[in-house]
Amino acid sequence: MPPVPSWGSPGSGGLTGVEPTSTWDPHPGQVLLALSAHVGALEAEKQRLRSQARRLAQENVWLREELEETQRRLRASEEAVAQLEEEKRHLEFLGQLRQYDPPAENQQSESPPRRDSLASLFPSEEEERKGPEAAGAAAAQQGGYEIPARLRTLHNLVIQYAGQGRYEVAVPLCRQALEDLERSSGHCHPDVATMLNILALVYRDQNKYKEATDLLHDALQIREQTLGPEHPAVAATLNNLAVLYGKRGRYREAEPLCQRALEIREKVLGADHPDVAKQLNNLALLCQNQGKFEDVERHYARALSIYEALGGPHDPNVAKTKNNLASAYLKQNKYQQAEELYKEILHKEDLPAPLGAPNTGTAGDAEQTLRRSSSLSKIRESIRRGSEKLVSRLRGEGAAGAAG
């Protein structure tokens, strides 16, 4: 074995060896701990990023919802602006209508007063579309209340729109005018009641009977409070309600309203006024629908006497009332009485007879009067239908008798 060299001291001149370097030999447990710490840090970072991603996704949903809500508010604002522009146009139109109002100092001196149909918005079918010169003038002027000219003009405009089926224009126009009147005069004012009547007519034309009934009840209450329970305008609203109930088949509720309207008009206008005769016609029709034929004949007979006394035998209202009475006779199988009335109408008014029968001649003044009447064509058609029905029934009875 060879001798091992000795290490000399640093200061000696002997052989010196190289000093060995120090080395670290990590323990496997330490390595695992370091890796575990690193993996934990990575997992924590991963969880932090996931949490941030969820927060950002939630914020994204919130932002989308906020954007949709903002867009909805924007659309609502645009619609509100459009509505305000439409209301502005309506207000400008109502402002233009005010020029038709007579000066306050001249209202009492107007003579004769204009005739107006706003007090009776539900007359017979042929009278519904007439302008402010239709029947009902005396009633509208009684008691010191006169319907303003702008409401008469507005009524005609609304009727025109409703006749064209443009309810999307007529209804907002009425509502805007109603709000304008309520702001300027308060709710309990006769003009507000008149506007309620106009809006009720529009709703009636749309078959919105409940809305129309509510408006008329409100108008009736206002007119009773402001004009008195026996004012002709109250009678007109009562008649409107009665006719509306009649159109809904509620005849028992309609009859007392119509009866009260008749009593008011008789007391205020007189027993021989044409409005009384018109009310008698309405009452007779309600009684007829309930089978009260004795009352029907009595009411029609009285209305007929009023019309004949005022306008003579060739008054168109005489022909209409006779036609109504003949129809009531047909419903009772009183064919002879009905035939006599139809012959009178056809003879006096020179209306074409049914089934190709020849005409019986002319009555000059009566023919001119009838041609001036806007209801002439409807009178003729109604008489044709009634007389043809009479003839068909009579022929049917004759055939049955021959077979027996």
* Interval 78-94: pLDDT, tens: 888 887 887 677 667 66
Read off φ and ψ for residue 107, nearest 5 degrees: -65, -35
Residues 253 and 296 in one domain: no
CA distance 202 to 204: 5
Q: Is residue 370 part of a domain?
A: no
Confidence class of residue 126 from pLDDT cuts 50, 70 and 90? very low
Residues 147 and 199 in one domain: yes
Q: Do 220 and 227 meet the contact criterion of CB atoms below 8 Å apart?
A: no
Residue 367 has pLDDT above 60, yes or no: no
Last residue within a domain, chosen from 58, 85, 112: 85
CA distance 85 to 194: 26
Q: Is residue 363 part of a domain?
A: no
Last residue within a domain, chosen from 257, 289, 304: 257
Q: Is residue 364 part of a domain?
A: no
Q: Is residue 214 part of a domain?
A: yes
Q: Is residue 362 part of a domain?
A: no
Residue 250 has pLDDT above 80, yes or no: yes
Give the pLDDT confidence score for residue 286 in this predicted structure: 92
Residues 247 and 314 in one domain: no
Residues 275 and 245 in one domain: no
Residue 99 has pLDDT above 60, yes or no: no
SS (H, E, C) 342-389: HHHHHHHHCCCCHHHCCCCCCCHHHHHHHHHCCCHHHHHHHHHHHHHH
Tell me if the pTM is above 0.75. no
Residues 282 and 179 in one domain: no
238: containing domain: 143-257
Give the pLDDT confidence score for residue 3 in this predicted structure: 54
Q: What percent of the chain stands above pLDDT 70?
A: 65
Last residue within a domain, chosen from 348, 371, 397: 348
Structure tokens at 295: 């009352």
Of 369, 234, 394, 398, nearest to 310 (Cα)? Answer: 369
Give the pLDDT confidence score for residue 287 in this predicted structure: 92
Give the pLDDT confidence score for residue 23 in this predicted structure: 56
Q: Is residue 108 part of a domain?
A: no
Residues 167 and 228 in one domain: yes
Q: How many domains is the chain built from?
A: 3
Residues 178 and 247 in one domain: yes
- Burial of residue 179 (CB within 10 Å: 0-12, 13-18, 19+) is middle
Read off φ and ψ for residue 174, nearest 5 degrees: -65, -45
Residues 251 and 277 in one domain: no
Q: Output the CA–CA distances (angstroms, integers) from residue 75 to 62, 67, 69, 81, in the order listed.
A: 20, 12, 10, 10
Residues 240 and 174 in one domain: yes
Q: Is residue 300 part of a domain?
A: yes
Which is more confident, 111 or 351? 351
CA distance 355 to 50: 94
Residues 250 and 299 in one domain: no
Q: Would you give the distance in Å from CA 283 to the centre of its chain?
A: 26
Confidence class of residue 312 from pLDDT cuts 50, 70 and 90? confident
The domain that holds 301 is classified in CATH as: 1.25.40.10
Q: Is residue 38 part of a domain?
A: no
Q: What is the mean pLDDT of residues 339-365?
A: 57
Residues 241 and 291 in one domain: no
Return the percent helix, strand and coil in the chain, to nearest 5. 75, 0, 25
Confidence class of residue 393 from pLDDT cuts 50, 70 and 90? low
